[in-house]
Amino acid sequence: MNTENFDKAVPAIEVNGLTVKFPIRGGVFSKVKDYFTAVDNVSFTLPQGKILSIVGESGCGKSTLVKSLVGLVPVSSGKVNLFGLPVNGGKAGTGKDVVRVSDLVQMIFQDPFSSLNPRQTVTEILTAPVIARGVPYDEACARAVELLKRVSLPAGAMDKFPHEFSGGQRQRLCIARSLMVRPKVLLCDEVTSALDVSVQAQILHLLDDLRNELGLSILFISHDMQVVHALSDEVLVMYFGHAVEHGPADVVLTNPQNDYTKKLLASVPTIRRE
């Protein structure tokens, strides 16, 4: 399928009535007693080229929602479309006209160290996903060198192992790896929370630049409201599995309508000095 010419008016992601339930068992081998609804009937759209942040307190279902979009947790009910293509079992599209979801959407996680194989060199880490897709080794290496440069890592990094990098450099490496397959959407789950503040800012600038250069659409999960305000076009607020408010970042973060959003914003910590 030609994924280069999607109609610009079609949302990158369209979610309708998405529900994710986890089974509750008495013990590992016992029968399912009940279900816990982590994501409850959530609907939203992510327009192409935009950054939508998902916010809400710990445990409200942000990560589960995002993971369910790429098949890391199973969807219980609801529909997901990527660029207008219905998603089903890791594929997007219908009949023979399908594309792998992982060719369109890549996810980046909070902890850059645990998401990199410590026994692989950067060359292996970056080239493996595209070699598996049939890209010749030399071309994969050339793409890796180009991306390392783009994320401001030296070309000499190709022969190194993950432990030889700082936390911020490792996250750059994860970003480069996610871009190797030339995805159209990035799902970023707390990607700066393990980094110190100055490095956080560099990674956020990098993501924003990449969005502008490559036209990427980004779903961004963060607890940091300042970061969310600085980076996002739109904000979706979740509470106990429900989407309670969604709109332009400036509106939701400065003039929230929902009572929970008001409480969430009021709870942003400030230091009181006596």
Ligand X SMILES: Nc1ncnc2c1ncn2[C@@H]1O[C@H](COP(=O)(O)OP(=O)(O)OP(=O)(O)O)[C@@H](O)[C@H]1O
Residues that bind ligand X (CB under 6 A): 22, 36, 38, 56, 58-64
Q: How far is the CB of 38 from ligand X (least distance, A)?
A: 3
Q: How far is the CB of 63 from ligand X (least distance, A)?
A: 3
Please calculate the CA angle 107-61-80 and round it to the nearest 5 degrees: 60
Q: How far is the CB of 111 from ligand X (least distance, A)?
A: 12
Q: How far is the CB of 187 from ligand X (least distance, A)?
A: 12
d(CA 193, CA 197): 9
Alpha helices in 84-193 (DSSP H): 101-104, 122-131, 137-150, 167-179
Nearer to ligand X, 38 or 244 (CB): 38
Nearer to ligand X, 130 or 221 (CB): 221
Nearer to ligand X, 165 or 260 (CB): 260
d(CA 165, CA 195): 13
Contact 116, 174 (CB under 8 A): yes
Q: How far is the CB of 66 from ligand X (least distance, A)?
A: 8
Nearer to ligand X, 24 or 142 (CB): 24
Nearer to ligand X, 34 or 213 (CB): 34
The per-residue DSSP string of 51-114 comes to: EEEEE-STTSSHHHHHHHHTTSS---EEEEEETTEEEETTEEEETTEEEEHHHHEEEE-S-TTT
DSSP state of 162: G
Nearer to ligand X, 56 or 256 (CB): 56
d(CA 43, CA 64): 14
User: Which residue's entry shows tokens 């081998």?
Assistant: 29
Q: How far is the CB of 61 from ligand X (least distance, A)?
A: 4
